[in-house]
Amino acid sequence: MDTFSKRKFIIAAIILGIGAIFILRLFTLQITNQTYKQFATRNVLRKIITFPARGFIYDRNHELMVYNKAAYDLLVVPREVKSFDTTELCNIIQLDRIDLRVAIKKAKQFSYYKPSIVVGQISPEIYAPLSEKLYKYPGFFTQSRTLREYPSKSAAQVLGYVGEVNQRIIEGDKYYRSGDYIGVSGLEKTYEKELRGIKGINNYMVDVHNRIKGRYNNGTADTTAILGQNLLTGMDKDLQAYAELLMTNKKGAIVAIEPSTGEIILMVSTPSYDPNLLVGRQRSVNYGILDRDSVYKPMWNRAIIGQYSPGSTFKLVNALIALQEHAISPLDRFSCSGPGSTPIKCTHNHVTPLAMREGLRESCNSYFWNVFRAIINHSSSPAEGYQVWRDHVMNFGFAQRIGTELTSEVKGNIPETTYYDKYFGQGRWNSMTIRSLAIGQGEILVTPLQMANMVATVANRGYYITPHLVKAIQDTNRVFRELKFEKKVTDINPEYFNTIIEGMQAVIDETTTMKLTVHQDNIVICGKTGTVQNPHGADNSAFVAFAPRDNPRIAIAVYIENAGFGATYAAPIAGLLIEKYINDSIAPGRKDLEQRLIETNLLHVVQVKK
């Protein structure tokens, strides 16, 4: 072969090789590589998200506390809009003409070809006439959505509410897009991931004008929305509503717990609001009104945010610590008069000297000042004695968040020794300096939830189960899965609780006021009142109790601001709630008491002490 022929062969081979490379590359790009196919497909696909129904919330008796109702959004594709009767459409959807023009203008600015929401959360009552006449408005269409519904109109701060996501949430969680809704507070927030479900996606073919022409790939690429999971709470819907009725025109909180399980039976905070106010198109307006109410603060959950002095209800804890530390015995007596009672005087006329059972029954301040002094002085130094006392107190769940669900819960306050060292000087304070702690005053701050948990611990003779609202979650098979919660045991010997419980029963059965308003012939109730000094106004009324004495079913704490003596309002309200829960009704002879408590208005009590 001559040189020319060799060159021709080489050139032909090179050309053929380059051609093969191009063919192979084109085959890869157009047939095997999906990237460019996806780019092309996206130009003719419209992905429409289907929103799952949010999970329901049930009470302990499987009665609905929160469910969903149908709602609709009106959307517009600006390019497809033609002349229409603006007045008629505005009348149907109950929207001002100017607002409609603004909405359409914003839609055009967003996209001339893609849909935008004109009006969201349209009720079924408005949707019905709209759907009949929608054919008259080219370019407008609707999509379905669900809104929350609260049938009992109670437990607003506990259940929480749902609101539209903001940009911060969208940037922090890829699940959410503009226009989505999310739990903002309460159980709606805590269990958002369980309640929200999983979105579905429907893929549609659209033409160059963004009009739907049919399902893409016959729907094989679509995904089905998965319903949100349902929550089963330990709450009693009817008892919750009854408690809120009794707290009408009163400021305060009530918490009731089932001692054996830690399930919260009710959690009331008043003043409150109808949770349905934060649903639908008027949500923003109503939220602004509620949020700006600085006098009554209806959106506050005082049961977990309110920090109060516990007053005489705290004497239960001090008595148990004294017994555990062998600082006193149940039979040791202290007088209400004389040098030993100074400087805390007793405010009641009763037999003296008293032992522990009578001291609890009479709520004798002098007696419990001696109890507290004995605890502090039982150690080698006041600071050491105080630390022993504080460690025991912490075992009852104070000065810490004891719930697991509501994110706004506060800790309260049981001061550390370093606080007094800094305030008074190290080695310059003793039991006399901090004597207010003996009667639940001073720097002690607790929440009503912690008070209810404390009395549940007494009812259990020394332990509590982490208080919780939700007891089970319904899985994808629609079976409720029970949640597990920690059992926390105090360092108080169970035998010492018997003396305390004897005193608590004596409070109810042997004092005149309690016999008239709280005592029940068929229920053994154990309780303790508290009249709490309040530097900001009239005294606060407090009461803790559990019932029955054996195998207790309910432990309750009632705290009412500016209501005076614990026996006047807090105790009878607790008594009615215990009766209602255990007997399922109120005895005819107690209906007058019930009506008097409902009608009492304490919101306008003079706030300055006389």
The hierarchical CATH code for the domain 46-131+140-233 is 3.90.1310.10
Predicted local distance difference test score (pLDDT) of residue 5: 65
d(CA 309, CA 15): 93
d(CA 191, CA 409): 16
Contact 545, 527 (CB under 8 A): yes
Predicted local distance difference test score (pLDDT) of residue 25: 72
Per-state percent for the chain, helix, strand, coil, to nearest 5: 40, 20, 40
| C-alpha distance across the termini of the chain, in Å | 126
The hierarchical CATH code for the domain 252-560+575-599 is 3.40.710.10
Predicted local distance difference test score (pLDDT) of residue 38: 46
Contact 194, 220 (CB under 8 A): no
Predicted local distance difference test score (pLDDT) of residue 222: 87
pTM over 0.85: yes
Contact 393, 361 (CB under 8 A): no
> What ranges do the domains of the chain cover?
46-131+140-233, 252-560+575-599
**Does residue 568 sit in helix, strand or coil?**
coil
Predicted local distance difference test score (pLDDT) of residue 444: 97
Structure confidence by residue, pLDDT tens digits, 220-232: 888 888 899 999 9
Structure confidence by residue, pLDDT tens digits, 356-367: 999 999 999 999
Regions in the chain scoring below 50 on pLDDT: 35, 38-39, 42, 608-610
> Which residue stretches of 425-529 are H helix?
448-459, 497-510, 512-517
Predicted local distance difference test score (pLDDT) of residue 2: 61
